[in-house]
Structure 1
Amino acid sequence: MAAFFSLTLVSQEKFENTLTYNDEAGSPEATLECLDFVAGHWQGKAFGGIVEEVWTPPLGGSMMCAFKLVVDSQVQFYELCTLSEENKTLILRLKHFRGDLKGWEEKDETVDFRLVKVEPGKVYFDGFTFEKVSHDEINLYVVLEEKGEKEEMRFNYHRFKGGTSLY
């Protein structure tokens, strides 16, 4: 399991469930073991529609995820994400794509989230937190910024076990 470090080294801004990366503190040592609870097929509600994520189990020092948002039976956007072990810690990377798979970010750019803290059932990246509620439920907390205003948003997911959508 990953090393812990004092909360005094982490700026919490105004949010309850996300932390901000501190360059002086750096990232703690960690492996993908601390995020094995994320592996699976998940569904929830957000942005006026259904959100879906599929996370693979660790393989080759990484986990990958496909995300999509569907509103009124239309895909609004996708994300491709990776959780990777690098330099004895973890990094979360993602890229956004419109419904037609045209990327939002430039070709060689990703949105990167550096690891801040690991505790049992909760893994904090810079502005992005994974929380295990139970075997069949997780929360993802993300700090979103729009027009200079930051907001912490909770995505509540339930494990999808096949058949039709949970929603």
Structure 2
Amino acid sequence: MLLVFFASFLLGGLNTQAQTAPAKPGTLADMALLEGHWQGRFNDGPIEASWTAPAGDNIVGYIRMMKDNKVTLYELFAFEQTERGPVALVKHFKPGLIGVEEKDKSDRYGFISAEKDRALFEKEDGSIRIIYEKRGPDQLVIRRGESKNGAWAFSDLFVFNRVR
């Protein structure tokens, strides 16, 4: 029994290591799961998102967060295809389109891996991982992960339902 546990522990550790580098380069087709118009709730207010279908070398989209019928934050997204896979570029804006990041900077997330209805990205400084996951045809979830004690711990950040 101890041998089975030890082997599982080792294999689990190897699996975590393997997720840090893409097994194969991803494509924008891996991100097609985002396409559509989505709504949910965040911080006691409505949240809305929309992404285009992949076209050429990109996908564009936005997230709008509101509270008490007033915008609290905009996020603009561009997924661009590179030879290593898609890269997610994110800029944040306060009401009045006041940029949070410097005008020539954006948060950048590199592609790690994808499987059906799920894609994993990591912020360029290695501090955060993001999972984009479709949980059925009408639910999209964005999960945020942080490294804790040598393992990645994820929690749902945004849960969206498709707008019909």
Q: Conserved in 2, the CA contact under 8 Å of 1:37 and 1:135?
A: no
Q: Aligned-pair distance for 1:152?
A: 3.5
Give the Cα separation in 2 of the matches to 1:134 and 1:153.
15
Runs of 4+ in structure 1 over 4 Å off: none
Task: Give the number of the structure whose residues are more often helix, by fraction.
Answer: 2
| DSSP-derived class of the 2:97 partner | coil
Q: Deviations over 1:40-71 (max 9, x none)?
A: 00001112211111101111211001111010
Q: Would you say how many aligned residue pairs link Structure 1 and Structure 2?
A: 139
Give the Cα separation in 1 of the matches to 2:62 and 2:43.
17
Correspondence for 1:35:
31
Give the Cα separation in 1 of the matches to 2:24 and 2:106.
22
Q: Aligned-pair distance for 1:27?
A: 7.2
Q: Relative contact order (C-alpha < 8 Å, sep 6+): which is higher?
A: 1
Give the Cα separation in 1 of the matches to 2:81 and 2:33.
16
Give the Cα separation in 1 of the matches to 2:38 and 2:89.
19
Q: Which runs of 5+ in 1 are unaligned?
A: 1-5, 12-21, 145-149, 162-167
Q: Alpha carbons of 1:101 and 1:66: their partners in 2 closer, same or farther (altered >3 Å)?
A: same
Give the Cα separation in 2 of the matches to 1:31 and 1:124.
12
| Structure number with larger C-alpha Rg | 2
Q: Which residue of the other structure, out of 136, 139, 151, is the alignment partner of 1:137?
A: 139
Correspondence for 2:51:
55
| DSSP-derived class of the 2:29 partner | helix
Q: How does 1:3-152 map to 2 (within 5 A)?
A: 7-10=15-18, 22=20, 25=21, 28-126=24-122, 127-143=129-145, 152=155
Correspondence for 2:160:
157
| DSSP-derived class of the 2:135 partner | strand
Q: Alpha carbons of 1:83 and 1:105: their partners in 2 closer, same or farther (altered >3 Å)?
A: same
Give the Cα separation in 1 of the matches to 2:137 and 2:77.
21
When the two structures are superposed, what TM-score results if normalisation uses the length of structure 2? 0.77
Q: Which runs of 5+ in 2 are unaligned?
A: 1-13, 123-128, 147-152
Q: Conserved in 2, the CA contact under 8 Å of 1:27 and 1:89?
A: no
Task: Tell me the percent identity.
Answer: 26
Correspondence for 2:8:
none
